[in-house]
Structure 1
Amino acid sequence: MKNLLLCITLGLGLLGLVGLGLTHAVEAEFYITKITSPENLQIAPGETALLNITLKNLRPNFALYLKASLDPDDTTPIDALGPATIWVTKKAKQAQESQQYFGAVLQGEEVGIAFKIYAKPGAEEKVYQVPLVLTWKNEKLQDVTQTICVGILIKGKPTLQIAGVETDPIEIRAGDNNVKLKITIQNIGEAEAKNVKAKLLLDEIKTKTFKPSYSKSDQAFIGKLSKDQTQEATFYIDINQTAKPGKYKLPIEITYEENNNNNSYKTIKTIELLVEPKPYFTITKTKTKPEKAYPGNDVILYLTIKNIGHEKAENVDLRIVRDASQPFTFDTRSDYIGTLNPKEEGTALIKFNIDKNALAKEYNLKIIVRATGDSEIGDTNVYTQTLKAPIKVEEGGGESRIKYALIVLVVAIMIAILGKRFIKTKE
């Protein structure tokens, strides 16, 4: 018997056209007259539903031993849970093949069938034409087959996740600025997402270790993400100078909408960043010899620095950056300190002369501290840091004070001599 296949598409909320297996004889032929579930002929991936179908024989001949099979060749991601083939009676009850008699379905009579169906996870969002294969025997007990396709919509939703994280530089450390953070976002759902946006929730990190490098550098707009598509969101962040080394969890808020409607979603994902240790210095003490510096003086400056970072610093040296606008001439502009463990201090010695015409005020010496990382943990990086040391030049100078003292002494001697002469004259 030649079988012709005509598929139907049932629109959302409406029962549309019904596909028929057409023959040129007067064999029994079935039409779908009603589908009561699933609602809107729609199912989500990974979910189950009950498919209730009412069939009607519109041809003069009758059908005996009617069987119905749902997608027997597994051509769609919609499967029957339980038996994929059922015997059909006028009361729409599942029967056993061993039963000897099934009532004939006459012209104009209706029968109901029901399958519990399941949509496979990850199925693409679209309408699937699910084959419903009917077989029966005619009045001559010959086998007759008819296939009807039922249009069922698999309606999924977008689901976004973090698929990867990269940083530039690869190793990030305390004090690093403009760290490029690339986060790969993937749509693992069944539907397209639109207006996808991502935002780093840096304010929710209690340690205040991270901050945006500039305005809105903690936000990224991605746009559309189709099923299985990935897209990178790029951010720029600064890391606090005194950040403790270790792993930090950064929350990311991802918002998006379904492409075919205005359903909106918001999800919070978390990424993990590893902050490596780093030496970090601060000036804890400055001292000059002489204690007060005057124009024209030769001065020795004692600079004490402390490693307040979380890594040992090796080969620490300190260098003064010469500023032509400052009245200092340096005999020694640098000094080697050596190794400074965390919380350890070291002192450098700098010699310079103050110009005799220097203005009395406080000057800030620019200092470069240079060190290498802890070789014992494989850190061969060279770290440089700029610091400032205040130097106060007092009013007057060493030479003028000597001259003033000599003048006072001469005046005192002259007064004493004149005083003695005056006394002798009176006598």
Structure 2
Amino acid sequence: MAGTGNSVVVGEVGPDEPQTATFEFQLNDSIRPGTYEIPFEVTYEYTPLIRYGGDETEWIDRDQREIVTVPLVVRPQVRLEVERVDQTDLVPGSVGTYTFQVRNTGTETASEVGLRIAVDNTSVFVGGRGAEGSTTSVFIERLRPGDSQTITVTAGAYPETTNGTYLVSVTPRYQTASGRTSLPTNNGSV
């Protein structure tokens, strides 16, 4: 964890009138799940005594400094990384394979992992020819932290395909032990 040492002024705080201060934390990817006690220095001025006398009122102010701790909870999370392992060099009109590896670099097990593999071009296909050839899906039952799975899909280029490089994107969706389902996000391209 890295602290930036920023200060926040919340203004006047009265009885039963709490104020909120928001801080942003940048956490290192290697931080383990758990609860961390974060110390904060709180400084404030208060008036414990007011003296009245004659035409003058005297306010006796005091400065106070306290260290308070606030719990920061780091929850377990799935973090999937996708990288290309091997591919068949395709020529127009040919079919080959595309192999990649999915690794869980997070701290929580991903279950029922669905991977949507897509190409953004109608000249090439993954999974099969035809109208559905721009996408295919793969299922992985479970990826524990540190585990990886190698996936191979069919890939091809139609005869009219122009030579070049075509982007393949992999979008994961999975469920965690707590029942949370990930939102489909593009986790990278290979």
TM-score, normalised by the number of residues in structure 2: 0.71
Structure 2 gap segments, 5+ residues each: 48-58, 129-134
1:117-173 deviation line (CA, Å, top 9, x unaligned): xxxxxxxxxxxxxxxxxxxxxxxxxxxxxxxxxxxxxxxxxxxxxxxxxxxxxxxxx
Rate the CA distance shift 1:357–1:229 in 2: closer, same or farther, 3 A. closer
CA distance in 2 between partners of 1:227 and 1:273 (Å): 26
The equivalent of 1:373 in structure 2 is 176
Check conservation: 1:253, 1:267, Cα contact below 8 A: yes
Kindly state the Cα deviation for residue 322 of structure 1 after the two structures are TM-superposed: 4.0
Match of 1:342 among 145, 160, 165: 145
Kindly state the Cα deviation for residue 254 of structure 1 after the two structures are TM-superposed: 2.1
CA distance in 2 between partners of 1:364 and 1:312 (Å): 29
The 5 A counterparts of 1:297-312 are 297-312=94-109
Higher helix share: 1
Higher relative contact order structure (alpha carbons within 8 Å, sequence separation ≥ 6): 2
Kindly state the Cα deviation for residue 275 of structure 1 after the two structures are TM-superposed: 1.8
Check conservation: 1:335, 1:349, Cα contact below 8 A: no
Matched, 1:351 2:158: no
CA distance in 1 between partners of 2:37 and 2:66 (Å): 16
Please give the secondary structure, in 2, of the residue aligned with 1:223. coil
CA distance in 1 between partners of 2:67 and 2:92 (Å): 64
Rate the CA distance shift 1:262–1:328 in 2: closer, same or farther, 3 A. farther
Rate the CA distance shift 1:367–1:238 in 2: closer, same or farther, 3 A. farther
Q: How many residues align?
A: 170
Kindly state the Cα deviation for residue 238 of structure 1 after the two structures are TM-superposed: 5.7
CA distance in 1 between partners of 2:24 and 2:76 (Å): 20
CA distance in 2 between partners of 1:296 and 1:319 (Å): 24
The 5 A counterparts of 1:22-421 are 203-204=2-3, 220-227=8-15, 229-237=17-25, 242-258=30-46, 260=59, 264-288=63-87, 290=88, 292-324=89-121, 327-330=123-126, 331=128, 333-355=136-158, 356-361=160-165, 363-374=166-177, 379-383=178-182, 384-390=184-190
1:20-77 deviation line (CA, Å, top 9, x unaligned): xxxxxxxxxxxxxxxxxxxxxxxxxxxxxxxxxxxxxxxxxxxxxxxxxxxxxxxxxx
Check conservation: 1:334, 1:350, Cα contact below 8 A: no
TM-score, normalised by the number of residues in structure 1: 0.35
Rate the CA distance shift 1:380–1:272 in 2: closer, same or farther, 3 A. same
- RMSD between superposed Cα atoms in Å: 3.1
CA distance in 2 between partners of 1:285 and 1:334 (Å): 16
CA distance in 2 between partners of 1:249 and 1:243 (Å): 14
Aligned-residue identity in percent: 23
